[in-house]
Each structure stands twice: as C-alpha cells, then as structure tokens.
Amino acid sequence: MSEIAEQPSAAPIDASPALVIEAGRSEKNYWSDLWRYRELMGFLAWRDIKVRYKQAALGVAWALFQPLIQTALLTFVFGKLAKMPDGGLPYFLLVLSGNLAWQLFAGAFNGASGSLVGNSHLISKVYFPRMVVPLSAVAVSLVDFGVTFALAVPIIAAFGLWPGWQLILLPVFVGLTLLIAIGAGLWITALTVRFRDFRFITPFLVQIGLFVTPVGFRTDNLPNWRDLLALNPLSAAVDGMRWCLLGGRTEIYWPGMVTAVAVTLALVFSGVWYFRKTERQFADII
C-alpha cells in the first residue's frame, strides 16, 4: 500500500467544529440543525401547496368545498336527524366551528403520517433532520386552515354571532390541535417506514376520530359522556376553538382541558422519542 506524496493544502479549514459520525451517536446539534433547516421546511410546504393546485381549475376553492359540504352533512345528521341539543345556537355554526378544528387536525395528521414514505426519494439521497418532513406537512395544513378560517368568520358574523375577545385565544387551541397532530403524526409516519400497514390504519383512525370527537355535537349538554370524551385530547381542542369562534357562547370543560394537555404532552414527547430513535435507520429501510 503506497502512501501518497503530500499535497499542498489549499483550503484552510475554517473554525467550524468538526463533525463526528459514529454508530449510535445521537446528534448533539439536532435541534439547532432543525432550526437551520427551517427554510427547507418552508420550501417543502410551499412545494406541496403549489403542486396540489397546479392543474386544478378551481384551485384553492377546493380547500373550501370539502369542509363546507362536510359541515352541511354533519349538521343534517346530528342536528336534524338525531336532534342533538343545540343550546340555542344555530346548529350549522356549532358544526362549522368544530369542523374547522377537526379539518385542521385531520389535514395535519394525514399529511404528517404519509410524509416520510411520500418523500422517500429525499430520505435516501440527502441528509437533513428528518423531522423537517412531517413538520412541513403540518405547515401545509395550517395554510388550508387559514383559508377556511377566513371564510368561516364572515359566515359566523352573517348569523349575527360576532366573535368576541375570545378570538384572541384561538392560536392557543390551534397550537394544541397541531401538537396533537404532530405527536400522533410522528408515531404513525415513523411506524409507516417500517410497517406499511399503517398506511391503511391512518384513514381508519381519522374516520373513527370524527365521531369520537365532538365535531357534530356539543359536549356541555352531555354530562354523562364528557369525561370519557375528554380522554380524546381533540375534544378539548374542538371545544376550545368553538368557544373562541362563537364568542364564548359555549362552555369549556376545564377538567377535560387539563386531561387533554397532559395527553397531548405525552403524545408529543413519546412521538419525538420514537421518531428520533428510529430516524437513523430510515434511509436503510424506507
């Protein structure tokens, strides 16, 4: 084995610290790396939005049709057929406000769940903190939410229910909804890399979720079921967002809120833990 003559060292090594790659070494700079790649997160979200509406004649209108029709349908089923108590509020608005939260969750959760496998060509060819991918999918759903929200507020106002100061707290509940979606989404997307079975489980979970979350009904009139529903953290998020949008005309169930925050934190921390644990093998098994 021949050793090579010395080469003039042309590029001075700058002061940036050396990067060490070792088996099982979790990157120290993971979170600062994630921050450094925030632009990529934005670009991926922008790509997804752009591509979605690229050849759709109706464009962004699609972001409105689906929630509106679903709202009308749920109003009919729960309000007219099942005659659930409305507490003196227009049933359509109850469902609309609840559905706004639900759509945000469903969009973020669906997007995050399929994101890694959907971007497998990137995962196997480029390095970046993998969490960028599900987070960018969540960002996409936030844009959709902005569009539906902009439509929902005038509708609510048209019914004569002006939102009050409670609207200021909306970001809190949007944040709660997104955290639930991120926690659940991190679990599912990491599991899907290994077991593609989870691709079939996700739509099923979302379908069930719509009925075990108070989207089509309000919980303050169901005292017997409240505590059971509270185990689903989305109940609190939906209730909270409804409270904000309808100007405090519904009630927030505080014990339920506390449970929801606890469950959400558990979901997010465990999701991040599982994602980070499996992340290093993604490129090998995806």
Partner 1 sequence: MGLPAIEVSDLSKRYVIEHESRHDNLRDTLHHTARKLWRRFRWGTGFQREEFWALKDLSFTVQPGEVVGIIGRNGAGKSTLLKILSRITEPTAGKITLRGRVASLLEVGTGFHPDLTGRENIYLNGAILGMRRAEIRRKFDEIVAFAEVEKFLDTPVKRYSSGMYVRLAFAVAAHLEPEILILDEVLAVGDAQFQNKCLGKIQDVARGQGRTVLFVSHNMAAVQRLCSRGIYLERGRMLHRGNVADVIDHYLATGSARDRDMNLRMTRSCSWLRPVKVDLLVASESRRSVKTGEALEIRLAYECTEPSRMPDGITVSFILYAAGQKVANFWSRAGHAAPLPIASSGTVSCIIPNWPFRSLPFTLEVHLAYRGDTLVEVPEALEFDSNDSDLFGTGVVPHHSEGIVLLRHSWRATGA
Chain contacts with partner 1 (rule: CB under 8 A): 1-4, 6-14, 16, 18-24, 37, 39-40, 43, 47, 50-51, 54-55, 121-128, 195, 280-281, 283-284
Distance of closest approach, residue 285 Cβ to partner 1, in angstroms: 10
Query: Nearest CA to 97 among 251, 220, 245?
Result: 245
Q: In terms of CB distance, is 207 or 281 closer to partner 1?
A: 281
Q: In terms of CB distance, is 100 or 122 closer to partner 1?
A: 122
Distance of alpha carbon 94 from alpha carbon 243, whole angstroms = 10
If phi > 0 it is left, if psi is from -120 to 50 it is alpha, else beta; for residue 69 that is alpha
Q: In terms of CB distance, is 190 or 246 closer to partner 1?
A: 190
Q: Which residues have CB under 8 Å from 80's CB, separation 6+?
A: 91
Q: In terms of CB distance, is 206 or 283 closer to partner 1?
A: 283
Tokens found for residue 169 = 């707290």
Q: In terms of CB distance, is 109 or 198 closer to partner 1?
A: 198
Distance of alpha carbon 49 from alpha carbon 140, whole angstroms = 7
Give the other-Cβ count within 10 Å of 150's Cβ: 10
Query: Nearest CA to 110 among 47, 37, 204?
Result: 204
Distance of closest approach, residue 1 Cβ to partner 1, in angstroms: 6
Distance of alpha carbon 174 from alpha carbon 71, whole angstroms = 19
Give the other-Cβ count within 10 Å of 155's Cβ: 15
Q: In terms of CB distance, is 55 or 224 closer to partner 1?
A: 55
Distance of alpha carbon 258 from alpha carbon 210, whole angstroms = 21
Distance of closest approach, residue 280 Cβ to partner 1, in angstroms: 4
Distance of alpha carbon 114 from alpha carbon 116, whole angstroms = 6
Q: In terms of CB distance, is 223 or 284 closer to partner 1?
A: 284
Q: In terms of CB distance, is 76 or 128 closer to partner 1?
A: 128
Distance of closest approach, residue 43 Cβ to partner 1, in angstroms: 4
Tokens found for residue 149 = 């929200």
Q: Which residues have CB under 8 Å from 21's CB, separation 6+?
A: none
Distance of closest approach, residue 36 Cβ to partner 1, in angstroms: 9
Distance of closest approach, residue 58 Cβ to partner 1, in angstroms: 17
Residue 78 DSSP class: I
Distance of closest approach, residue 37 Cβ to partner 1, in angstroms: 8
Distance of alpha carbon 244 from alpha carbon 95, whole angstroms = 14
Distance of closest approach, residue 107 Cβ to partner 1, in angstroms: 20
